[in-house]
């Protein structure tokens, strides 16, 4: 109950001042906006008056220059001096150029030498000056184009003050001289610099770009923020205008009233204030507009509200802190008791987790299989069996590497897909067989099981690897043994039989260089019904005394030659090297139950330790089978030969009988 009361009191303390503060903020904002609109209106009027005063003064000066005798009488030397003196006087007052035109519209004297000789007879200001009714008037032109700067096609913010030059000329039959048009005098004024000089004074946030000028027909004369809009008329609207303006009611209001203040919105742009005043001078009628973002007017009120909210927040937080201390004092005993109970519970849980982790760590360490944890596609853990299986010095050589680096290229994508599936589905993958590449470059066939797990609170995959190379080797040896046993039924002749045996042996051991030497007791020579070698040619039948092949035949034991054993046998005068020396050599006797038929030899010229005792035992175990199938094939071939001899003898006997019977018949006839 007390808790609810405290919460209610805090809520009231917070909401009531907040409501009061928001209402005060709205009132202050309204008052500030009203006062600012008045100030902004006065500033737009002041700017209009300043521009009008400036134009009046410059017009009087140009009018005075046009009345000089040297200008009216075309005294070029004196006229150039007068124009230059005037230019020196006004060039710091935003006058850019002073020029004198002749009656044909050609510039004959100018402070800008490049413009002398140009003709402007077709332009509106010159056409206006040629009319006699304008002889004592002045003209302000529209914006002029910056034609001499081809890189900037935008108009200059410049206007011309034009004063016509009329000379008094006496005419026949007239008592008073008449006015003759002889040219004009112009002064080029930079509007942008004038507005910069009469800088607005509403606040420190006002800049030139907040002043716009519209003429009476809706054409934009000056726009400090978007100069590309200058010379556009709001009556001639196109698609580009609707990008920013949803409506042109604000422009219509400005053109239809003398002065005032309005608010308007543009697309995607904050609300704006615009104060405007009219300016009339000679032939021009302009609206001087000061535009300002709404946010720039009320920014300090928002800042004041923000600071007030901070103070209010600090006060409320202090109150909340005080209430919290009171509330906490009532809850300390209950919390202490609850925390003690939770602490005991957590201790028990931590002990169980620790025991479980220790048990898991022991199981992983003592596991007979290699266990690797892959986290974020990198090896994060490997047990000692894995280090030994992959033939690396220690686990540091594997940490940080990708598991796919030790996978055979042919199994790369299979392993990658399986790991991704396990990590995504969080299920155990079925065991699958792959080949891995050990650190020494040898290839090992293994069975892999992937299990989803976590490693340091990150999703990972535990990979269990079981070496099945021994099983695969045993299965392959059994397959080769069966193929050798059945080869006698699928071969035609001893040579084809030995080729099939060689192909089968190549699946288990390296048999690139292989030969079979069969011993003939009658000649005491060895024949070579099968011989394949990189360097040596098949030899003719020969005795091969003291050769390694003969040594195996004599001892009837398998032989795996090493350099040490060769040296020993040579010292004992048991063997002599025959043929091209090889780095690895293995020979096994081909024995049946009754006799030894010959020797099976495998050798390698590049790798020294390509054969091991495992190959010796395997070849020795199948040597008897090879000898048996060779013996059977020999017997088959001998039977075929005997059958052929018997067939020939039968045919001869049949011929003899026929001859004998023929002879007896002849004797009887005689």
Using 70 as the pLDDT threshold, list the residues of the chain that sit under it. Answer: 1-7, 10, 13-14, 21, 25, 29, 143-156, 171-175, 199-210, 237-247, 268, 296-305, 319, 322-323, 326-327, 330, 353, 355-365, 488, 664-670
Strand partners, 518: 527, 598
Helix axes 613-669, 494-505, angle to 10 degrees: 170
Quick: pLDDT tens for 168-220: 777 666 667 777 888 999 999 888 888 877 764 444 444 434 678 888 888 88
Tens of pLDDT, residue by residue over 445-474, are 888 888 888 888 888 888 888 888 788 888
* pLDDT on residue 298: 66
CATH architecture assigned to 367-467 = 2-Layer Sandwich (3.30)
What whole-number distance in Å separates Cα of residue 143 and Cα of residue 124?
A: 12
The whole-angstrom separation of Cα 498 and Cα 506 is 12
On whether the CB atoms of residues 517 and 499 are closer than 8 A, the answer is no
Task: Specify the residue for token string 């070496």.
Answer: 467
d(CA 9, CA 415): 65
Residue written as token pair 């394949």: 532
Which class is 490-645 in CATH?
alpha beta
Say how far apart CA 606 and CA 615 lie, in whole Å.
18
Q: What span, in angstroms and rounded, lies between the C-alpha atoms of 59 and 38?
A: 32
The backbone torsions φ and ψ at residue 533, rounded to the nearest 5 degrees and listed phi first, read -155, 150
Are the CB atoms for 223 and 212 separated by under 8 Å?
yes
Closest CA to 433 of 424, 420, 444, 421: 444
pLDDT at site 242: 62
Residue 302's pLDDT is: 67
Q: Which residues, including other chains, have CB under 8 Å from residue 575's CB and lie 6 or more apart? A: 546, 547, 548, 550, 551, 566, 569
Q: How many angstroms separate the CA atoms of 313 and 477, rounded?
A: 85
Cβ atoms of 95 and 188 closer than 8 Å: yes
Please spell the DSSP secondary structure of 548-594, one letter per residue: HHHHHHHHTS-EEE-HHHHHHHHHTT-----SS--SEEEEEEEE-SS
Burial class (CB in 10 A: 0-12, 13-18, 19+), 215: middle
Q: Determine the pLDDT at residue 541.
A: 92
Name the architecture of domain 17-291. 2-Layer Sandwich (3.30)
Q: What is the largest CA-CA distance in the chain?
A: 192
Q: Helix-strand-coil percent breakdown of the chain, rounded to 5?
A: 50, 25, 25
Structure tokens at 36: 């600012």
Residue count of the chain:
670
d(CA 458, CA 92): 75
- Provide the 3-class DSSP secondary structure of residue 657: helix
- Cβ distance 308 to 317 under 8 Å? no
Q: Residue 491 in contact with residue 503, Cβ under 8 Å?
A: no
pTM: 0.44
- Are 161 and 138 contacting, i.e. CB atoms less than 8 angstroms apart? yes
Read off the tokens for 56.
Answer: 């009046």
CB 95 within 8 A of CB 187: yes
Integer Cα distance of 670 and 664 in angstroms: 10
Domain spans in the chain, listed from the N-terminal domain onward: 17-291, 367-467, 490-645
Task: Name the H helices within 67-142.
Answer: 69-72, 76-90, 124-129
Sign of CA dihedral 508, 511, 517, 518: positive
Whether 490-645 and 367-467 are alike in CATH topology: the answer is yes
The secondary element (H helix, E strand) that includes residue 323 is helix 294-365
> What residues form DSSP beta bridges with 435?
445
Q: How far apart are the first and last CA of the chain?
A: 158
Two tokens at 42? Answer: 């006065």
According to the 3-state scheme, what is the secondary structure of 14-60?
A: HHHHHHHHHHHHHHHHHHHHHHHHHHHHHHHHHHHHHHHHHHHHHHH
């Amino acid at each position: 109950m007390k808790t609810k009361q405290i919460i209610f009191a805090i809520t009231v303390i917070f909401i009531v001042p907040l409501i009061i503060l928001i209402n005060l903020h709205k009132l202050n904002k309204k008052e500030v906006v009203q006062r600012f609109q008045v100030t902004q209106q006065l500033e737009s009027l002041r700017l209009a008056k300043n521009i009008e005063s400036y134009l009046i003064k410059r017009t009087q000066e140009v009018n005075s220059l046009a009345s000089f005798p040297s200008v009216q009488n075309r005294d070029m030397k004196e006229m150039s001096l007068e124009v230059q003196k005037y230019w020196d006087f006004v060039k710091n007052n935003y006058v850019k150029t002073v020029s004198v035109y002749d009656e044909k519209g050609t510039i004959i004297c100018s402070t800008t030498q490049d413009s002398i000789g140009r003709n402007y007879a077709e332009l509106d200001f010159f056409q206006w000056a040629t009319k006699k009714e304008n002889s004592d008037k002045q003209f302000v032109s529209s914006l002029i184009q910056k034609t001499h700067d081809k890189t900037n096609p935008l108009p200059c913010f410049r206007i011309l003050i034009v004063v016509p030059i009329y000379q008094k000329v006496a005419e026949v039959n007239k008592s008073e001289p008449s006015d003759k048009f002889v040219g004009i005098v112009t002064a080029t004024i930079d509007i942008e610099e004038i507005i910069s000089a009469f800088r607005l004074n509403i606040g420190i946030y006002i800049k030139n770009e907040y002043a716009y000028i519209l003429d009476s027909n809706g054409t934009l004369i000056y726009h400090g923020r978007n100069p590309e809009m200058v010379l556009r008329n709001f009556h001639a609207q196109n698609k580009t205008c609707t990008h920013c303006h949803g409506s042109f009611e604000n422009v219509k209001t400005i053109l239809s009233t003398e002065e005032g203040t309005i608010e308007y919105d543009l697309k995607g742009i904050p609300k704006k204030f615009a104060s405007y005043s009219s300016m009339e001078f000679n032939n021009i009628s302009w609206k001087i507009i000061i535009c300002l973002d709404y946010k720039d007017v009320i920014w300090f009120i928002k800042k004041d509200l923000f600071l007030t909210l901070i103070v209010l927040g600090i006060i409320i937080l202090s109150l909340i802190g005080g209430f919290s201390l009171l509330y906490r004092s009532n809850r300390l005993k209950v919390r202490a008791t609850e925390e003690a109970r939770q602490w005991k519970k957590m201790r028990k849980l931590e002990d169980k987790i620790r025991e479980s982790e220790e048990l898991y760590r022991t199981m992983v360490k003592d596991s007979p299989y290699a266990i690797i944890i892959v986290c974020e596609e990198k090896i994060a853990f490997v047990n000692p069996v894995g280090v030994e299986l992959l033939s690396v010095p220690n686990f540091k050589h594997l940490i940080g590497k990708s598991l796919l680096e030790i996978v055979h290229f042919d199994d790369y994508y299979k392993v990658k897909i399986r790991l991704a599936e396990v990590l995504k589905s969080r299920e155990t993958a079925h065991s699958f067989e792959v080949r891995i590449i050990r650190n020494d470059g040898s290839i090992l066939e293994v069975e892999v099981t992937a299990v989803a797990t976590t490693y340091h609170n990150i999703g990972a995959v535990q990979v269990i690897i079981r070496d099945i190379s021994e099983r695969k080797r045993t299965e392959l040896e059994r397959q080769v043994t069966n193929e050798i046993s059945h080869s006698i039924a699928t071969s035609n002749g001893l040579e084809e039989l030995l080729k099939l045996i060689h192909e089968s042996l190549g699946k288990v051991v390296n048999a690139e260089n292989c030969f079979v030497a069969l011993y003939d007791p009658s000649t005491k020579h060895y024949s070579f019904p099968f011989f394949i070698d990189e360097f040596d040619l098949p030899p003719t039948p020969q005795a091969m005394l003291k050769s390694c092949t003969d040594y195996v035949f004599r001892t009837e034991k398998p032989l795996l030659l090493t350099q040490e054993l060769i040296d020993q046998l040579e010292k004992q005068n048991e063997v002599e090297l025959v043929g091209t020396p090889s780095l690895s050599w293995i020979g096994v006797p081909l024995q049946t139950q009754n006799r030894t038929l010959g020797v099976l030899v495998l050798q390698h010229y590049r790798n020294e330790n390509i054969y091991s005792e495992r190959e010796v035992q395997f070849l020795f175990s199948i040597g008897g089978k090879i000898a048996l199938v060779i013996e059977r094939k020999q017997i088959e071939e001998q039977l075929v030969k005997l059958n052929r001899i018997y067939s020939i003898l039968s045919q001869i006997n049949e011929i003899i009988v026929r001859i004998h019977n023929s002879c007896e018949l002849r004797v009887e006839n005689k």
